[in-house]
Structure 1
Amino acid sequence: MEDLLGQLQHSLEKGFINRQHSEFSRFKPELLVNQVHKRQDVLTSLTDELKACRTFLFSVAFITESGLATLKSHLLDLHEKGIEGKILTSTYQNFNHPKVFKELLKLKNVEVRIADIEGFHSKGYIFQHDHYYSLIVGSSNLTSSALKVNYEWNVKLNSHENGEIIHHFQEQFHEMWEKAPLLTPDWIYHYERFFEEAVIPRVAELPGNYMTNRMEAALRVEPNQMQQAALHGIEQVRLKEENRALVVSATGTGKTYLAAFDVRKYGPEKMLFVVHREQILQKAKEDFKRILGGDDKDFGILSGSSRSTDAKYLFATIQTMSKPEVLRTFDRDSFDYVLIDESHRAGASTYQRLIDYFDPAFLLGMTATPERSDGYDLFQLFDYNVAYEIRLQEALEEKMLTPFHYFGVTDIEVAGRKQEVETFQLLTSDERVERILEKLHYYGFSGDQVRGLIFCSSKREARLLSDELNTHGFRTCALTGEDSQEKRMIEVNRLEQGQLDYLITVDIFNEGIDIPSINQVVMLRQTESSIVFIQQLGRGLRKHDSKEFVTVIDFIANYKNNYLIPVALSGDRSQNKDSIRRKMIDKSYIKGTSTINFEAVAKERVYDSINAARLTDMKLLKDAYVDLKNRIGRIPMLADFYEHHSIDPVVIGRKKDHYDAFLAAVKEEKPGLSAAHAQVLTMVTQELLSGKRIHEVYLLEKLLDAGVLSKRCFQETLVEKGIREDASTLASMESVLTLRFFKRADQQKYGDYALIEISEEGYQLSPHVKKLLNDSWFRRLFEDVLRAAQLRSGRYNQAELLTRLEKYSRKDVCRLLNWDKDEQSTMYGYKTKHGTCPIFVTYHKEGEVEASIDYGDTFINPEVFHWFTRSRRTTSSKEVLEISEAEQRGIDLHLFVKKDDDEGRDFYYLGEVKPDRASIKDTTMPDAQGRELPVVTMNLLLKESVDQQIYDYLHEDMY
């Protein structure tokens, strides 16, 4: 309580009296603004408070379905914890749609009332915690745009439970609450009748002057921003006198229109457009007709019984066009422009036959997923000319797609290795069907009627689930590869016309199907491929007037490949577990109003999968290597992996000592290296590639160019770049590059030769390294490590010793705190040296001495960490005094925490801490034999509050 009062007093001083006040307080007043470039939004503050509160009160005039969807999984987690809240909203200006009131009724732990007052326009959120309240008040209603995108001003304040300001807000809320009618189905029924009569629906007006000249109308259709950029990229390829190009563009971003715009620009005498499914032929033809204009006879189809081979613009299925007897009816130069849709399929024999036969003046390929699992080099087919590329995350940011709300929900357990029959019975059991129905109802959909796609794991499951849903009042149809194209078209049309609620399928609708009105995508199968995941997600991302967003419900069981979910959503191909975990913690890579949400148990299952995944298996790394080699058309270097957002170079360095060894492992032809070359290459790879400190890298780069460099000149370079240049850091750098820092075993591993020589004149490369650099292949590899390290270093604050919330090993910390030797082996949990003391904590300890819950290292809150020293220590022990009296002795304490040993050897750096002197005390803890051992415990106060998402990840244990 005393700490709480002190923190509140500091917040008052800093927020309202003196902004230079130095004492940190987690309760300082904040202005909450949506700022994409800073990865900040109001929603994050709102959900952070929800996660930690005991109860909550919302008073918001306006609520949208999309806004409510951003909170649904969080509210469900609160319901599981028994935490309830209240929402007071309104019918002001008839803004709130009747459907959002129906959605509010689904919240089991939230009571909702309707403010009975004219002009109700409040926007406030109150959260009750232990002994204090948090208040967010300002301009943000409960809409996704207000919480994530719009320019809004909201103030976040904290008050003691006895504070007057919070009592004023509560009194106002409860005064309105007591007068407000309760939200009930009957109230919604009457409001719905009023809404239909009073609110004039928005009707799209037809243009008054309809143009009969189709060509003139077509020319008035202009490409959007993405299409303009892509058209420019294609034109640049042609200006280089290249005749093939590839466009990589996320599903739903208008690839067909883009192709039509380029055909209009190119003006071919005859064009061929090839697709792999008949369903999209007719639509592709109509899209081209809209952009190109011209007579109907100019556009023809070659598929099935249709044989319009003389058309100027011919649209054909690959199945028909690739038949030898059909190909022979055309001359090889019949088409001067050929387009291949979904060109990632071009490795198939049917496509190869067509491509080998025709000789167009220009060949354009279009795909959303150029990566191939069969090793086929799609990029080579298009002469490595990637004219334009836009992936899911960029397309969302450019508002080219419908926003989505993804919900990772908890599926039933599939424990152990069950027989196929047993697994099938489990997946189609009454319990699972009830859970599916519950989640479909709770998370809902945008619009007046559900139009959903459900992806199952087997044909049997799809058919049985369709039968089960139909018995529960839904209108569904199961479609599999056994159904004819005609049958599929009929059922798709029924879904679009509202005669069906769901199509249930296995994989046949992953691509090549266009149903823009889909407003709910349900995944009832484990994620086997990030490519397939994005394809299925993409089925709902096309824009349509009937929906504001798409609901994606992903049922997550305890499958080993769950780690692919954050990989797919973020596009992270690093194979770096830390990077993938960060994508679960920080979801700012998803732009606009889209959100990613996981129910608590589902989230833990994904983390378990990340921990267990073998992401550095050589097969996975080789596949990624081949993909990148195919993309760039040559042997990739480490820097290429980073620049093309592929494998994290550090992952390659951890798998093999150096890149030459990795190339040998993937059977790449290359020059050989001597043992001496390999030793130096190992040193720079293992110690410098991460980019955690850039000094060594910059010095080696400078010496490669200049030969000799004075210390003063090097310091000036660091100053220009805003990098630390203090004597201690430079001495540490020198110790690393001369190998003095390392243990004897590492020195031998690295060849026992210094990389640099130091004299009064300054620095120069050692004779040993100069000699090795005469080998051109070694020099290329050496320079590549430095280049990759420099690229990777941007994630670290080079002006500081360490970067908060990044991860470091004990060895990293010895080096970056400027210790003269690597002392990781004797550091254990903490060690004081050179005026610094790093403290390492594994939060969830396994296989260690069991202690009661009262004797564990733990967060009290995001600003206070309750910590125990080593056993057999007292408050008078020398090492304890160095920590307890750290401020007086000028010792900086640094806290490093990892969740458990599954995270490997690296720890999150949480920043500097200082001991709360009043909390330091002697106590005991039991050892394995039950004997009580002396130990010291204290609270460590963090200089800067831990981000709530990192705090939740480390602190929460849902099992």
Structure 2
Amino acid sequence: MNSHLIDNISNTVLNNFVDRDKYSAVGGLSASLVANESANTNVYRILKNELQMCDDFIFAVAFITKAGLSQFLSVFQDLDKRGVRGRILTSTYLWFNQPEVFKILINIPNIDVRIYTGKDQKTAEPLPFHAKGYMFSHENGYNSAIIGSSNLTSNAIMKNYEWNLRVTSLDNAEITKNISDQIEAEWDRGIELTDAWIEEYTELYKKNHPKLIAAADVAESTEVYQIDSKIVPNKMQKAALDQLTELRQSGKQKGLIISATGTGKTYLGAFDVRSFKPKRFLFVAHREQILQKSLESFYKVIGGNRNDYGIYSGNNREGLDKKYVFATVQTLSKPENLALFAKDSFDYVLFDEAHHLGASMHQRIFEYFTPKFCLGMTATPERTDNFNVYKLFNYDIAYEIRLQDALEENMLCPFYYYGVEDYELNGETIDDTTSLQRLVSEERADYIVRQTKYYGYSGDKLHGLVFCSRKDEAKGIAELLSKRGYKSIALTGEDGIARRDEVVGQLEVGVIDYIVTVDIFNEGIDIPCVNQVVMLRNTESSIVFVQQLGRGLRKFKDKEYVTIIDFIGNYKNNYLIPIALTGDKSHSKDSARDSVDLEPIFGTSVINFTKIAKERIYKSISQSNLTLKKKLHDEYMNVKNKLGRVPLMCDLQRDSIDQSVIASKYKQYNAFLLAMDEEEFVLTPFQEQVLSFVTVELSNGLRKHELLLLNALLQGELTDEQYVQILKEAGCYVNDAVLGSVDRILSLAFFDDKSKPNKVSYGDTEITEHHAGNYRFNDKIKAELTNNDFKVLFEDAIKTGLLKAEQYDASQPFTIGCRYERKDACRLLNFNKRVPGQNIGGYFIDKDHDTCPIFITYHKSENISETIQYGDYFKNPSVMHMYSKNKRRIEGAEIQKLYRGVEEGKPALDMHMFVKKSDDEGTSFIYLGPCEIIKGSMQQEFSRRQDGKEDPIVSMDLKLAVPVDADRYYMLTEK
């Protein structure tokens, strides 16, 4: 065993068992607690990442649920493509595992399953099997084991209070060898899972499983709480009702509720009407089916005489004289029908799906009646037709809860989203131009059925919706699915309401398995039983994507989750998928990529992409232009419509276009406004230069220090002591180096010499002056701030920066996991001058401050120069094996500067590591933390050039102070 490995083992043991502060665990050997701490740190994420990187695995786990197993189906599928097999040992203990679980397990092609059969040696009675262990083997000779309290259930791996010990060792280590031997012994005694065994178990399960009290239909009871037969508001509804009351108390006559589909908007309306006690009430919707269900919900909440409720629609005019009238837009909007009602007939009017109020029929009703209060409810207020629903309700938003928030609050049925690659034939994949013949081919239908069967659904019976892109495709797919035993009916815009309702009824009672449609079920349809949504179309808009996803999000009895299977072809609009899933409106490519890489979790809803599907989305993100003027204009108008005024940059930053987009494309906010056809502010060229400086260099929020100084100077001059106190109160790190850097930044001295083009664009005037212990604005800047237009935008740029700064840890120069460019590192490491990126290259030693940022592109392009084609790689999450620049020798001055102090255990350089996966990610790198060269790891090597000659190069191991988190590590190292 070499001395380097011995040092690693020694340090790991000392870290784990003696002193974690004094010693660091390196070399991949570790022991740690795994618990469900957050959406980013839980048992599920650790298991998933271990699976993604392993070469084989075995689970010994007593209890498995469909939900727990389903969360890993995409990973199992990718492992199968890699030729990786696994084993699962489980049990029949307490009859917990449902037969459906075994039916899923037996259909996972690369997993062998056995059932525990251990017996007591004295009595020969079956032993209860209550193990929870997961083991993974890796090609580098390491084994990982996770042993503890977590069964393979959704709750146990995501939200329950669970404790598990994770141990990583070499493959013949005592602890993992003991665990492995125990599992193997039980595996050898286990019964192989077969179809015959499942059939027998199913009958025994029916007899032995504890009889559960039949749950009532929760399609409605999950939207409210029912106590002693009295319906009371849920958490969201209570908050919304309080705000509606406050709105009316302030004299407002209109209000808008923005609430995700399935969160109980109808009951919310009923609760508010009950509180308002109107003499007459009008509910307006665009479908009679909605009216009938809404009427029943209102009656449950308000009660009273059932004859006081009536529908006014088509041939049903019973509601004409009722106290509570439920009317369709189509019927009520006719002038002759409106004339039957006095303008003040209703003192409370509620418009369902209020985003449709831009249509002439809706407008006619809205403008006709004069109620004391009017409420609009919608899940999608954003429009692409420039209609402003906010204006109709005087910009008074009573309450807002979006999809991701509703999932976090457990108000909706969780979804398991699987982004899988669409069918490929002879190297050709489905794309925007694929012919109908290929879309409805027998081969594609077989592939679709394999995937839908593999990913399954929650519940005893399939109730599926399939979204297609063309009418002919919908009809063809419905025929092909029916031919394969999944009875399906196609519905398109050609089918009337009666036909649609008939088919929906057939889906609900299980007469058919799928409704195959083109867009008509995006909204205005409520089918709570839907437990599988299949997307066979290009994502044209994030609004439509969320609407279609939302068809399955209503809670329903026996439905633990809804399965979303998105067949991803080579579509240009694939970049919209992560944007829609996360609700991200930043228009930032970095943000979109992070969503794909990290696969965020909302509540217990999970997002999974197969490797190929990910690659297709990456390609779309790289090739897309998220900052096209039209895209930015649409987003800008949504915010403007919501606010009822011209937004400032800080307004956009809160929940919309990111500052980085404006800074990179327009330099300063007034230029952006002009591009949006706004002429709100008038600036001089000098004022534009100053705003460009603040926006580009400071409003990114990477460092609060300059922003806090500028913000304080708006109130007047301040002393050194006052400034330092402001920094400390804001939680900022303070030292002479950073204070000197602030001076250089705000005097523009930092941008001198080789960065002269930047100085020209920013002007030559210092922003602030620092003399004799006092800070003040430069006289010219002070004079310009008397101009209101300039002052508003100057203050806005500062506010935006402080808002962005909330994403970063102000107590440190960098925040682990955040993205930085080379130029950012120059500033945040207090360089005297900005160094051009090409001069920094892979690393740069700043001799003035003994700092060295290191920039590593993990997967380098094959087209780059052979002189920088270094093979840097992670040895494990704590250690990066890095190569020096070309033509370097250990005894050379540069390498000696890097290594100075390492032998003595006191490295002279303050080193920081930044990594990006590839050049496709642009110019930003992810900060992984401070690092140092491992003593004795430097080696002289030689790189061979194409001409056959060799150049000297030095390799070394860098130890990170904080190991790379599992998700980020897999994302960076995945090929």
- For the aligned pair, the TM-score class normalised by the smaller chain equals over 0.9
Q: Give the deviation of 1:773 after TM superposition.
A: 0.2
Structure 1 counterpart of 2:37, which letter?
Q
Alignment of 1:202-213 (within 5 A): 202-204=212-214
Q: Paired residue for 2:851, among 803, 826, 836?
A: 836
After superposing the two structures, state which structure 1 stretch, 263-272 or 9-18, moved more.
9-18
Structure 1 residue 686 and structure 2 residue 696: aligned? yes
Q: Distance in 2 between matches of 1:674 and 1:20?
A: 56
Assess if the C-alpha contact under 8 Å between 2:262 and 2:412 holds in 1. yes
Assess if the C-alpha contact under 8 Å between 1:56 and 1:86 holds in 2. yes
Tell me the residue number matched to 2:460. 448
Q: Which runs of 5+ in 2 are unaligned?
A: 119-126, 218-225
Q: Deviations over 1:605-624 (max 9, x none)?
A: 11221222201111111111
SS in 2 for 1:745: helix
Tell me the residue number matched to 1:878. 893
Structure 2 counterpart of 1:119, which letter?
P
1:179/1:333 CA distance change after superposition, 3 Å: same
SS in 1 for 2:750: coil
Assess if the C-alpha contact under 8 Å between 2:430 and 2:439 holds in 1. no
Assess if the C-alpha contact under 8 Å between 1:873 and 1:934 holds in 2. yes
Structure 1 residue 922 and structure 2 residue 940: aligned? yes
Tell me the residue number matched to 1:817. 829
Tell me the residue number matched to 2:349. 338
Q: Distance in 2 between matches of 1:497 and 1:418?
A: 34
Tell me the residue number matched to 2:222. none
How many residues in Structure 1 have an aligned counterpart in Structure 2?
945
Structure 1 residue 896 and structure 2 residue 914: aligned? yes
Q: Give the deviation of 1:693 after TM superposition.
A: 0.7
Alignment of 1:373-772 (within 5 A): 373-412=384-423, 422-588=434-600, 590-643=601-654, 645-705=655-715, 707-742=716-751, 743-772=755-784
Q: Distance in 2 between matches of 1:926 and 1:261?
A: 76
Assess if the C-alpha contact under 8 Å between 2:414 and 2:603 holds in 1. yes
After superposing the two structures, state which structure 1 stretch, 311-320 or 460-469, moved more.
311-320
Q: Give the deviation of 1:926 after TM superposition.
A: 4.2
Structure 1 counterpart of 2:614, which letter?
K
Assess if the C-alpha contact under 8 Å between 1:276 and 1:318 holds in 2. yes
Q: Give the deviation of 1:431 after TM superposition.
A: 2.4
Q: Distance in 2 between matches of 1:852 and 1:171?
A: 49
TM superposition score normalised by structure 2: 0.94
Structure 2 counterpart of 1:612, which letter?
Q
Q: Distance in 2 between matches of 1:694 and 1:713?
A: 16
Q: Paired residue for 1:30, among 25, 29, 32?
A: 32
Q: Distance in 1 between matches of 2:211 and 2:537?
A: 39
Tell me the residue number matched to 1:21. 22
Alignment of 1:25-424 (within 5 A): 25=26, 26-36=28-38, 39-117=40-118, 118-129=127-138, 130-204=140-214, 220-308=230-318, 309-412=320-423, 422-424=434-436
Q: Give the deviation of 1:169 after TM superposition.
A: 1.2
1:685/1:920 CA distance change after superposition, 3 Å: same
After superposing the two structures, state which structure 1 stretch, 315-324 or 726-735, moved more.
315-324
Alignment of 1:767-846 (within 5 A): 767-825=779-837, 826-833=839-846, 834-846=849-861
Amino-acid identity (%): 45
Q: Deviations over 1:251-289 (max 9, x none)?
A: 111111111111111111111111112222211111111
Q: Give the deviation of 1:894 after TM superposition.
A: 1.8
Q: Give the deviation of 1:363 after TM superposition.
A: 0.8
1:945/1:363 CA distance change after superposition, 3 Å: same
Assess if the C-alpha contact under 8 Å between 1:556 and 1:562 holds in 2. yes
Q: Give the deviation of 1:444 after TM superposition.
A: 0.4
Q: Deviations over 1:23-77 (max 9, x none)?
A: 24353321111123x7321111111111121211111110000000111111111
Tell me the residue number matched to 1:935. 953
1:567/1:849 CA distance change after superposition, 3 Å: closer
Q: Distance in 1 between matches of 2:197 and 2:141?
A: 37
Tell me the residue number matched to 1:952. 970
SS in 2 for 1:306: coil
1:23/1:504 CA distance change after superposition, 3 Å: same
Q: Distance in 1 between matches of 2:15 and 2:202?
A: 49
TM superposition score normalised by structure 1: 0.95
Give me the CA root mean square deviation.
2.2
Q: Give the deviation of 1:152 after TM superposition.
A: 0.7
After superposing the two structures, state which structure 1 stretch, 550-559 or 935-944, moved more.
935-944
Q: Distance in 2 between matches of 1:409 and 1:420?
A: 17
After superposing the two structures, state which structure 1 stretch, 895-904 or 470-479, moved more.
895-904
1:444/1:364 CA distance change after superposition, 3 Å: same
1:850/1:639 CA distance change after superposition, 3 Å: closer
Q: Give the deviation of 1:657 after TM superposition.
A: 1.6
Structure 1 counterpart of 2:299, which letter?
K
After superposing the two structures, state which structure 1 stretch, 559-568 or 421-430, moved more.
421-430
After superposing the two structures, state which structure 1 stretch, 443-452 or 659-668, moved more.
659-668
Q: Distance in 2 between matches of 1:4 and 1:595?
A: 38
Q: Give the deviation of 1:632 after TM superposition.
A: 0.8
Structure 1 counterpart of 2:262, which letter?
G
After superposing the two structures, state which structure 1 stretch, 795-804 or 691-700, moved more.
795-804
Q: Distance in 2 between matches of 1:525 and 1:919?
A: 53
Q: Give the deviation of 1:521 after TM superposition.
A: 0.6
Q: Give the deviation of 1:570 after TM superposition.
A: 0.9
Assess if the C-alpha contact under 8 Å between 2:423 and 2:430 holds in 1. no
Q: Deviations over 1:717-745 (max 9, x none)?
A: 22222211100011001000000000322
Q: Distance in 1 between matches of 2:251 and 2:172?
A: 76
Structure 2 counterpart of 1:756, which letter?
T
Q: Distance in 1 between matches of 2:626 and 2:506?
A: 43
| Structure 1 consecutive aligned stretches of length 4 or more whose deviation exceeds 6 Å | 216-219, 414-421
Q: Give the deviation of 1:801 after TM superposition.
A: 1.6
SS in 1 for 2:255: strand
1:263/1:935 CA distance change after superposition, 3 Å: same
1:391/1:16 CA distance change after superposition, 3 Å: same
SS in 2 for 1:221: strand
Q: Give the deviation of 1:650 after TM superposition.
A: 2.1
Q: Distance in 2 between matches of 1:424 and 1:80?
A: 29
Assess if the C-alpha contact under 8 Å between 1:886 and 1:893 holds in 2. no
1:14/1:366 CA distance change after superposition, 3 Å: same
Q: Distance in 2 between matches of 1:562 and 1:422?
A: 16
Assess if the C-alpha contact under 8 Å between 1:279 and 1:485 holds in 2. no
SS in 2 for 1:34: coil
1:652/1:23 CA distance change after superposition, 3 Å: same
Assess if the C-alpha contact under 8 Å between 2:490 and 2:516 holds in 1. yes
Structure 1 counterpart of 2:308, which letter?
D
Q: Distance in 2 between matches of 1:112 and 1:304?
A: 58
